[in-house]
Structures are given as structure tokens and as C-alpha cells.
Amino acid sequence: MSKSSYETIFENNKNWVESKISNNPTFFEELAKSQTPEYLYIGCSDSRATAEELMGAKPGEVFVHRNIANVVNSLDMSAASVVEYAVSHLKVKHIIVCGHYNCGGVKAAMTPQDLGILNPWLRNIRDVYRTHQAELDGIEDEGKRYDRLVELNVVEQCINVIKMACVQERYIMEEYPVVHGWVFDLRTGKIIDLEIDFEKVLKDIQKIYNLSEDEWVMSRRAH
């Protein structure tokens, strides 16, 4: 009887362990001690867009959170807890929000249909469409409009990350973390940096989302 794809996973794991130990006998001892990643990666759950592989990263180098369409919602305790832990405890230096072209979640948000439990989640992306409706409706090519919404969604989720208190507080004190917006192009395999002006976005946000008057004064002095 041939092995099922499920059984193959364990065979792959065994081979992976052996390859790591053959190159470094203490690899897993070192891995088990602690993690000190410089990056928090917030990406889509899509099976084609795996963080470590597309970044060429090793175990321990990237702290990862993934959900449908790489959404960061302040009411989502999972995403909020990940950001808080990464920023305040792991002391990551970079936060990356990475979307990808051909995203099923973004496509679903563009489709007028009832998707049940997905509706409130996709509403986050539909809100992005509403905010940028004039630009998006002006794009006649549906594929290009789809790609542009993927990009705009990444930018909006970056803004949601920058709104968070832990991000603002630590940046004021340490000038880290810096937030980046990426899109992974499944058609070419390349990462596209949307080149978000983090400091400008932060200053604009602090005019509205400042934590207190003292925090705002400190931020003005820092920049």
C-alpha cells in the first residue's frame, strides 16, 4: 500500500530532522532555548504564500501571524495579542504586512454574495473598497482593480498596526518597530515593497490616535 499524503508529512519531518542534525548536531538544542526574531510577519492564510519560504528565512527568524486576507482588526484579539507580544516582549524591529495577488479573501470581498460567517470578516476589506471607491471604480480592467484592492488592503492593515498603542509607545522610545507593506506576486514569485512612508503615516495617525497629550509631545520631539 502506498503512503498517503498525510503519512508522507511525517516522513518529510524525519528527513528534515536528520538533515538539520547532520549539518549541526546541536541545532534543536539551540532552537529550543529561545527565539529572538527581528521580524513579525502578518500574512494571508493562503497555502501558496508561506512566510519563511518566500523570505528565505530560517526557524527562529520570523514571528508569524496569518489569517484570511492578512487583516489586522483592533477587535480581533488573536492579531492584537500577536502584535503586542512581538513588539513588547520579542522586541521585533520590523513588522511586515504581506498580501498577495490572486487573494481569495479579497476576491470574495469584491463579490456581492452572502458568505455566512465570513461576512463580518470580509467587511473589513469591503470597508477598504468603500474608502477608495472612486479610485477602484475608475479602473476598468477587473484584474487590475483586483490587484489594486490587494495593495490598498495591505496599506490599510499597516495603518491599523501603526494605530496600536504598543507600536507607537515603543517607536517613540526606541525608533522600532518599523512597519512595512508588501505584496507577494504569485505570478512571478517576487515580493513587492509598497514603500510605505512609516514615519509620515505615524505622525498623521498620532494627530488623531495619540495616546495622551504627553505621548504626543514626546513623539513631536522624537521626530
Residue-range domain boundaries for the chain: 1-33, 36-222
Q: How far is residue 52's CA from residue 193's CA, in Å, rounded to a whole number?
A: 17
Is 180 in a helix, a strand, or coil?
strand
Q: Which of 13, 185, 181 is nearest to 98 (CA)?
A: 181
Q: How far is residue 28's CA from residue 70's CA, in Å, rounded to a whole number?
A: 30
pLDDT of residue 206: 82
Q: Please confirm, yes or no, whether 100 is among the known catalytic residues.
A: yes
pLDDT (tens digit per residue) in 104-141: 999 999 888 888 999 999 999 999 999 999 999 999 99
Count CB-CB contacts under 10 A for residue 46. Answer: 19
Residue 39 β-bridge partners: 62, 94
Q: Please confirm, yes or no, whether 166 is among the known catalytic residues.
A: no
Q: Are 129 and 14 in contact (CB under 8 A)?
A: no
Q: Please confirm, yes or no, whether 48 is among the known catalytic residues.
A: yes
36-222: CATH number: 3.40.1050.10
pLDDT of residue 1 exceeding 50, the answer is no
Share of the chain above pLDDT 70, in %: 93
Q: Please confirm, yes or no, whether 126 is among the known catalytic residues.
A: no
3: DSSP letter? P
C-alpha cell at 61: 527568524
**Which residue out of 65, 98, 103, 132 is catalytically annotated?**
103
Q: Please confirm, yes or no, whether 214 is among the known catalytic residues.
A: no
Q: Which whole-number Å values give the CA distances from 112 to 14, 107, 196, in the listed order?
A: 46, 10, 30
pTM over 0.85: yes
